[in-house]
Structure 1
Amino acid sequence: MVQSLNLAAVRSAFTLLSHPRLLVPHLAVADIRAIPFAALRTAGIKYLVFDKDNCLTAPYIDSLHPPFAAAWHSCKAQYPAENILLVSNSAGTPDDTDGEAALRVERALDVRVLRHREKKPACGAEILEALGARPAEVAVVGDRLMTDVALANLNGMYAVWTTEIVTEKGDNPVAAAVRRLEHYLYAFLRKRGVQPPPHAAAK
């Protein structure tokens, strides 16, 4: 699948850079194995939204990254499948002809893939409608600051940033380059003491 230019991210760039706290996650972890799913549920997070590429799977691969199997099982032990939603900027978007990639991922991961018109970070309303949730009840998990973390913070959700990717092999080269810049940006913002927007689940 060829991933088109993410115009939503381009449009939001000025807003994000003008309000840098939108790029700061509430929780930064190496990968999903370090996410305290039970603690999130106790803190009031009822729904989980996951990025796919380099968060759950290798880029453009449908199946779960094998080392994440135990963590994925732990996640599903805390959250029913209907409360988990996968939101990709490839599968389930207009780039996904006839939704074939979304169907493959749903079969492989056994969770819903959002069919959405707008790419992250501009699909917050579509996510909330699909889940039937209030923003404060939703956590977004992903490896990108300008898409996943920004999506969460722009919509009053809880942002979880996975800092270590599965692999750059096969990744979108533009996304890979921007991701590397995001790590430098995060270090700069933290050094400046920039905090994420307040959230009830944040300690």
Structure 2
Amino acid sequence: MPFLHHAVTTLRIITKPSVVVPNLTVRSVANINFKKLRDAGYEGVVIDRDNCLTKPRQDDLVPSLKDAWADCHKAFGPDRILIVSNSAGTSKDASFLQAEALTRNLGAPVLLHEAPKPWVVKPILHYFADLPPLSAPSAAAQPKLEAEPATPRKPIPPRLLVIGDRISTDILLGSRLQGSFSIWTKKVWQEESFGVRVARLLEDGVLFGVTRWRVWRRKRRGLEPEVDTAQVFVKNEPVVEEPAESTWWNSIVSRVRGLLPKAT
């Protein structure tokens, strides 16, 4: 099935290139203003683990994200923050030990799922559908009314934030969740396997090509450049940089990412 998932993902990018463009690009989670996003009507957070909240395959929060993670909890509450990883909570996670450790250390539930991102829309919607509305009064305060027959209505999907460091998984997942707002975190806390590094470089190249094409298309049509209204959700917090090994690979990645839209 992995080959089929990759093939469908590639086809989706080819037929609709805009799915790779995040609604907001930031350096790290520390630069996200969760309070403003909550005030804007977003109802929950779907967030990645590796190189977004933690270093790869680790269960502890990156220390410099402590304040930002506390702000996220304050804005949405722990039940409305869902960690969705392609490692923890999947078949790669024996007895879901990683998921349990993450929930314990980060204070938020981890989605247990079989299909990889971005093909986890239904489990995510099922999770949030089981939560009470944000503005609902407590059960004790609600008057008891006799049940009345009602016409079934299609539930309105929640407006979610989808946050992650990978274009082909996290940002594509955001494009598949109706009404969501995708946030791409560019900071890589620790490099992963060679295969992941190649995939990340390819994703950056595709995003660069799509963003340049969109600028060219607007200019050709005589339209004004797009106004980035999403910057109101950015906090200009400094990112604590960790010493990175100077290698030819990191040099290539830095040059490619230097061509992409600047993260605020």
Instruction: Give the TM bin, normalised by the shorter chain.
Output: 0.7 to 0.9
Distance 1:95 1:7, change over 3 A: farther
| 1:125 is aligned to 2:147 | no
| 1:67 is aligned to 2:89 | no
Q: Secondary structure at the match of 1:192?
A: helix
| 1:27 is aligned to 2:49 | no
TM-score normalised over the length of structure 2: 0.68
| 1:93 is aligned to 2:114 | no
> Which residue matches 2:162?
140
Give the C-alpha shift of residue 59 in structure 1. 0.3
> Which residue matches 1:191?
212
> Which residue matches 1:166?
189
Give the C-alpha shift of residue 184 in structure 1. 2.1
Structure 1 counterpart of 2:188, one-letter code: I
Alignment of 1:95-110 (within 5 A): 95-110=92-107
Distance 1:42 1:26, change over 3 A: same
Contact 1:9 1:147 in 2 (8 A): no
Give the C-alpha shift of residue 7 in structure 1. 5.4
Moved more, 9-18 or 106-115: 9-18
Question: Mind listing any 5+ residue stretches in structure 1 that lack a counterpart?
Answer: 196-200
Moved more, 89-98 or 126-135: 126-135
Distance in 2 of aligned mates of 1:136 and 1:181: 31
Give the C-alpha shift of residue 176 in structure 1. 2.0
> Which residue matches 1:198?
none
Cα displacement string for residues 18-66 of structure 1 (whole angstroms, at most 9, x for unaligned residues): 2111111111111101111111111111100110000000000100011
> Which residue matches 2:172?
150
Compute the RMSD of aligned alpha carbons.
Answer: 2.2
TM-score normalised over the length of structure 1: 0.88
Contact 1:105 1:113 in 2 (8 A): yes
| 1:116 is aligned to 2:139 | no
Give the C-alpha shift of residue 142 in structure 1. 0.2
Contact 1:139 1:158 in 2 (8 A): yes
Distance in 2 of aligned mates of 1:137 and 1:6: 31
Structure 1 counterpart of 2:115, one-letter code: E
Distance in 2 of aligned mates of 1:202 and 1:85: 22
Give the C-alpha shift of residue 75 in structure 1. 1.0
Distance 1:30 1:135, change over 3 A: farther
Structure 2 counterpart of 1:154, one-letter code: R
Distance in 2 of aligned mates of 1:10 and 1:59: 25
Distance 1:125 1:46, change over 3 A: same
> Which residue matches 1:50?
47
> Which residue matches 2:136?
none
Give the C-alpha shift of residue 74 in structure 1. 1.1
Q: Percent identity?
A: 32
Q: Figure out how many residues of one structure are paired with residues of the other and give that number.
A: 193
Structure 2 counterpart of 1:50, one-letter code: I
Contact 1:49 1:87 in 2 (8 A): yes
